[in-house]
Amino acid sequence: MMTCNKIPPFEIELILAHILKKSREYVLAHPERTLNKTQNSKFNQLVKRRENHEPMAYILGQKEFYGLDFKVTQDTLIPRPETELLVEEIIKLEPKNKTVIDIGTGSGNIIISLAKNIKNKNNFFAADISEKALRIARRNAKNHGVDKKIKFIKSDLLNYFFKNKKSLKIVNCKLIIASNLPYLSQKIYATTAPNVKNFEPKSALFSNKDGLAHYEKLFQQIKKLQNNCNVPHIMCYAEFSPEQKPSLAKLIKKYFPKANIKFRKDLGGKWRIAEIKL
């Protein structure tokens, strides 16, 4: 078994399993197994990347989310366990004949988990401003057999839908918006760990106006959908950073004074999801 002083044995086992295309259990059960020359050089490369603080998910090229494996690259955020709460809340609604849009889809982890777990018929859309992220999301959808169920679109927030209202059946529809948009403020982004700041895309993490600029723009667009596009039934789920709860609540009330708003805590007991029912 290969070892390395700077990296925990658990991670070495995962790297070896990745190189051998076997499970971690296989690696543990075969301590006598040696690597050939190519595998050995790959091992040294990957260990070096890890020593340089690159996240394991990028080294292995995948991350588990909601019980599914997602391909990730440095063009996509690494899905976080706390985002599973957003998926769970939407699944609980048991949506049927609705339009479900995931804004800022990244690797597609949210919309693919929804499409896999919601058996009723719905229109699923995944939007991102990054073409590179969308490419990964499409691949993940294919790997999970839901690529025919989801339409992937390049869009700055909801912009695409304003231009394509009819073809997307957005008029008169019942809409569910799932959003895990960039929400780190300047201050928090500056203190983020090197494994995040040096490797994950800033465009997926940082937002102006104390981290709420993306959500403010999204709320403006939702208001426009409500008022100008005949979409009366909208539910919006938004993930945020716990300290943003008071400022986010204020922002939601500014745009939707009559909305029914609920906040949910993640498993770590931190405020994480806003549920806005219009």
Which span (122-130, 168-176, 186-194, 222-230) binds ligand SAM, by CB under 6 A? 122-130
| Near ligand SAM by CB under 6 A: residue from 128, 147, 266, 275 | 128
Q: Is 110 in the site for ligand SAM (CB under 6 A)?
A: yes
Closest approach of ligand SAM to the CB of residue 106, in Å? 3
| Near ligand SAM by CB under 6 A: residue from 62, 99, 130, 221 | 130
| Near ligand SAM by CB under 6 A: residue from 15, 56, 77, 87 | 77
Q: How far is CA 175 from the centre of its chain?
A: 19
Q: Is 182 in the site for ligand SAM (CB under 6 A)?
A: yes
What does the alpha-carbon distance between residue 140 and residue 62 come to, in Å, rounded to a whole number? 10
Q: Is 133 in the site for ligand SAM (CB under 6 A)?
A: yes
Which span (18-26, 46-54, 175-183, 264-272) binds ligand SAM, by CB under 6 A? 175-183
Is residue 20 within 8 A of residue 26, CB to CB? The reply is yes
| Near ligand SAM by CB under 6 A: residue from 17, 20, 91, 129 | 129
Side-chain-facing half-sphere of 137: CA atoms under 13 Å: 34
Number of H helices, E strands in the chain: 13, 9
Q: Is 156 in the site for ligand SAM (CB under 6 A)?
A: yes
Closest approach of ligand SAM to the CB of residue 257, in Å? 25
275: left (phi over 0), alpha (psi -120 to 50) or beta: beta
Helix axes 245-255, 213-228, angle to 10 degrees: 20
Q: Is 122 in the site for ligand SAM (CB under 6 A)?
A: no
Contact letters for ligand SAM, residues 184-223 (x by CB under 6 A): -------------------xx---------x---------
Which span (34-42, 92-100, 106-114, 162-170) binds ligand SAM, by CB under 6 A? 106-114
| Total chain residues near ligand SAM (CB under 6 A) | 22
What does the alpha-carbon distance between residue 218 and residue 228 come to, in Å, rounded to a whole number? 15
Closest approach of ligand SAM to the CB of residue 246, in Å? 21
What φ, ψ does residue 192 adopt, rounded to 5°? -70, 145
**What are the structure tokens assigned to 122, written together?**
């719905």
| Near ligand SAM by CB under 6 A: residue from 50, 106, 173, 235 | 106
What φ, ψ does residue 33 adopt, rounded to 5°? -65, 130
Which ranges constitute the DSSP H helices of 33-152? 37-51, 56-60, 84-92, 109-117, 131-143
Q: Is 181 in the site for ligand SAM (CB under 6 A)?
A: yes
Helix (H) or strand (E) segment spanning residue 239: strand 233-239
CA distances from residue 48 to 8, 20, 176 in whole angstroms, order as listed? 13, 18, 43
Closest approach of ligand SAM to the CB of residue 228, in Å? 20
Which span (42-50, 101-109, 222-230, 250-258) binds ligand SAM, by CB under 6 A? 101-109
Strand partners, 177: 101, 236
Any idea what the Cα angle at residue 125 is, between residues 123 and 128, rounded to 5°?
Answer: 175
Binding footprint of ligand SAM on the chain (CB under 6 A): 77, 79, 83, 103-106, 109-110, 127-130, 133, 156-157, 180-182, 203-204, 214
